[in-house]
Amino acid sequence: MGWAIVLALILFGMSGLVHVAAMSWVMSAATRRTFATPARLLLALYGLGGAHILEAGLYAIGFSLGDNLGIGGFEQEDVNSFMDVFYFSLVNYSSLGLGDIYPTGHFRFLAGVEALNGFLLISCSASTLFLVVTRKPD
């Protein structure tokens, strides 16, 4: 369980740092340029969406590393490529939770932390999108 906690703390922090950088970039780019509101919205959507994909990818790398450390796995036998793990991570990060891939062992803890982290960061993105659309450029 110790490795799962360490891995969760590292991934939680790394994804938070990635997201703060993305939100700062989006706010800076959206308010400095004289884009129309739809263009600012698109800039924010693509910037923050890309950050979310990167953050889910960090967790996918963490699950792959955790598999090598032996802290957990997946119940399904056909989860054998990084793309399968990345798919699980995206579904879990977004709290969609389709349930077609189940984590086992201490991956259950890591998956819970990822879902919490995703929820928090998606909420931050919603606030940033609101600010981008409602603020006037400098």
* pLDDT for 64: 93
Max Cα distance, the chain (Å): 54
Q: What does the block give as tokens for 83?
A: 């793309």
* pLDDT for 45: 95
Strand partners, 37: none
Distance CA 114, CA 16 (A): 11
Local confidence pLDDT in tens for the 138 residues of the chain? 888 999 999 999 999 999 999 999 999 888 876 778 888 899 999 999 999 999 999 999 999 999 889 999 898 888 889 999 999 999 999 988 888 889 999 999 999 999 999 999 999 999 999 998 887 765
Q: Which helix (H) or strand (E) holds 74?
A: strand 72-74
Please give the full DSSP string across 79-109, using - where no structure is assigned: --SHHHHHHHHHHHHTT----SS-EEETHHH
Work out the angle at residue 59's Cα, subtended by the Cα atoms of residues 77 and 12, and round it to the nearest 5 degrees: 140
Q: Are 109 and 1 in contact (CB under 8 A)?
A: yes
* pLDDT for 30: 84
Q: Which domains does the chain have, with CATH numbers?
A: 2-134 (1.10.287.70)
For the whole model, what pTM was predicted?
Answer: 0.90
